[in-house]
Amino acid sequence: MRDAGLTDKDTLDIAVTKIKAHCAKHVNLSMAVFKLMSTQQGTKSITVFAKEIEELATQCQFTECQCMKERAMKDTSFSHVR
């Protein structure tokens, strides 16, 4: 669990705290992706809806590859535009 910032010198209590904090980040990220993929256009104009999708995609932290953010935005807009 080096991703959680654990070191060999951490006590059990510190390790548990770090692991819980690391897992909480993933829960928030999962919720952001869920929110993006389940958003609806409703009565919003396409420009307002596109801006909302972009903001939600940014919250998903697709930092490794910009194309992931763009792909998620396209997938959401195609499946939820009316």
Check pLDDT > 80 for residue 46. yes
Q: How many Å apart are CA 9 and CA 6, to the nearest integer? A: 8
DSSP state letters, 24-36: HHHHHHHHHHHHH
CA 6 from centroid of its chain's CA atoms: 23
Q: What is the pLDDT of residue 82?
A: 52
> In this structure, how many other beta carbons lie within 10 angstroms of the beta carbon of residue 52?
17
Check pLDDT > 80 for residue 50. yes
Q: How many Å apart are CA 40 and CA 76, to the nearest integer? A: 9
Q: Among all chains, which residue has been given the structure tokens 């910032």?
A: 5
pTM above 0.75, yes or no: no
Higher pLDDT, 47 or 66: 47
Question: What are 18's two structure tokens?
Answer: 């770090």
